[in-house]
Amino acid sequence: MIDGIIPLWKEAGVTSHDCVVRARRLLKTKKVGHSGTLDPSVTGVLPLCVGKATKVVDYLHEAPKAYEGIITLGKTTTTEDADGEPVAVLPVEKAPAKQRIEAALEALTGTVTQVPPMYSAVKVRGRKLYEYAREGIEVERPVREAQIYDFRLLGMDAAPQDGEFSFKVHVSCSKGTYVRTLAVDAGEKLGYPAHLQQLVRTASGGFGPEHSSTWEELEALVAEGRPGDAVYPVDWAVDHLPAITVSEETAEQISHGRVLPAEWFQEQTMAVKAESGKLLAVYTAHPDKPGIFKPKTMLL
């Protein structure tokens, strides 16, 4: 039985759920989950949590993510990406100056508010937005905050082509960020309708391309009886959390769910490890008992 995280390099044309279903069949276990949905057209890092690692899906989901994408000026679409139907068109006759693009991206760095696209999996009144969109029903969407840590220009076309102008960007952001919407917002700051032409997730939960396996590689490892070669330990999911180390005696007590004194902790949520380095649990402040921290997730 596998217990750990498999960073998968997702190909285009499949949903994140498709990847989970395929992994369950390949690994012969129902205990598989993913840590952050990628749109079908998006490629890149999709960490799959297997076995006991399904307990840490939320921690991986909380970790920052990074992308490389191509934003195209000149047209917006129903889906805010290249798959949608045109909504507004304004041909680009002269390319914006590099400094102007950089200023637009800088203006969108920090805390931003976003309205999820109608073609997204956000639920409103018990239904996903894309279900309403497919029926042509417009509903009020919740406004969300996202953190954009880094939004910078990587390259740009030499000149507009057929009324469109594209530039490549790097985005590092918090969970729940809609990079499609960020592309549209960047276009607005430049005075043009825009959409996200292409997107690749280059980092998620501390995993990058160098850690990831393609389906072909994973299937080959399973066929050779070496699936563990693609697996990373559960610890990776909480590496971004501050941690404390406890004695082996306390570690034994933690295995039975012991609460711990608040003075041991410097943050609201922290990982707890034994002197041996073994990850034991994630603890959080008790909601009803001041001065006490309780296990949030047991990882023994």
Kindly report, residue by residue over 136-146, the tens digit of the pLDDT.
Answer: 777 776 778 99
Residues 124 and 139 placed together within one structural domain of the fold: yes
Query: What would the pLDDT profile of 231-275 be if each residue is shown by its tens digit?
Result: 999 999 998 899 999 999 999 999 999 999 999 999 999 999 999
Query: What is the per-residue pLDDT for 114?
Result: 85
Residues 148 and 210 placed together within one structural domain of the fold: no
Q: Looking at 79-88, 129-138, 289-298, which range is the least confident one?
A: 129-138
pLDDT above 90 as % of the chain: 76
Query: What is the per-residue pLDDT for 226?
Result: 94
The residue that leads in pLDDT, 78 or 127, is 78
Of the three residues 234, 249, 279, the one that is the final residue of a domain is: 234
**What is the token pair recorded at 112?**
């931003």
Query: What is the per-residue pLDDT for 61?
Result: 87
Inter-residue contact 261 to 253 (CB < 8 Å):
no
Query: What is the per-residue pLDDT for 121?
Result: 63
How many whole angstroms separate alpha carbon 156 and alpha carbon 225?
Answer: 45
Strand arrangement, sheet containing 279-285: 243-246, 269-274, 279-285, 292-298, 260-261
Query: What would the pLDDT profile of 94-122 be if each residue is shown by its tens digit?
Result: 999 999 999 999 999 999 998 767 666 66
The 3-class secondary structure across the chain, one letter per residue, is: CCCEEEEEEECCCCCHHHHHHHHHHHHCCCCEEECCCCCCCCEEEEEEEEHHHHHHHHHHHHCCEEEEEEEEECEEECCCECCCCEEEECCCCCCCCHHHHHHHHHHCCEEEEECCCCCCCCEECCEEHHHHHHCCCCCCCCCEEEEEEEEEEEEECCCCECCEEEEEEEEEECCCCCHHHHHHHHHHHHCCCEEEEEEEEEEECCECHHHCECHHHHHHHHHCCCHHHHCECHHHHHCCCCEEEECHHHHHHHCCCCCEEHHHCCCCEEEEEECCCCEEEEEEECCCCCCEEEEEEECC
Whole-number Cα distances in Å, 104 to 22, 99, 168, 180, 256 = 41, 9, 13, 15, 53
Question: Mean pLDDT throughout 182-188?
Answer: 95
196 lies in which domain range?
A: 65-203
CATH code for the domain in which residue 255 is found:
2.30.130.60
Residues 107 and 50 placed together within one structural domain of the fold: no
Residues 151 and 264 placed together within one structural domain of the fold: no
Task: pLDDT band for 49, please (50, 70, 90 cuts).
Answer: very high
Q: Write out the catalytic residue numbers.
A: 39
Q: How many residues in the chain?
A: 300
Query: What would the pLDDT profile of 200-218 be if each residue is shown by its tens digit?
Result: 999 998 999 999 999 999 9
How many whole angstroms separate alpha carbon 300 and alpha carbon 298?
Answer: 6
Residue 251's contacts (CB-CB under 8 Å, 6 or more residues apart) are: 274, 275, 278, 280
**Sign (positive/negative) of CA torsion 218, 224, 230, 234?**
positive
pTM of the predicted model, to two decimals?
0.88
Residues 36 and 46 placed together within one structural domain of the fold: yes
CATH code for the domain in which residue 170 is found:
3.30.2350.10
Asked if residue 53 has pLDDT above 90, the reply is yes
Asked if residue 134 has pLDDT above 80, the reply is no
Residues 198 and 209 placed together within one structural domain of the fold: no
- Mean pLDDT score of the chain: 92
Query: What is the per-residue pLDDT for 72?
Result: 98
Give the count of domains, the chain. 3
Q: Which long-range contacts (CB under 8 A, 24 or more apart) does 11-18 make?
A: 11/43, 11/214, 11/215, 12/40, 12/41, 12/42, 12/43, 13/40, 13/41, 14/40, 15/40, 16/46
Residues 75 and 133 placed together within one structural domain of the fold: yes
Residues 134 and 159 placed together within one structural domain of the fold: yes
Residues 19 and 76 placed together within one structural domain of the fold: no
Q: Looking at 75-84, 110-119, 124-133, 172-181, which range is the least confident one?
A: 124-133
Question: Mean pLDDT throughout 140-153?
Answer: 89
Query: What is the per-residue pLDDT for 23?
Result: 96
Asked if residue 181 has pLDDT above 80, the reply is yes
Asked if residue 131 has pLDDT above 80, the reply is no
Query: What would the pLDDT profile of 57-72 be if each residue is shown by its tens digit?
Result: 999 988 899 999 999 9
Residues 161 and 218 placed together within one structural domain of the fold: no
Residues 69 and 191 placed together within one structural domain of the fold: yes
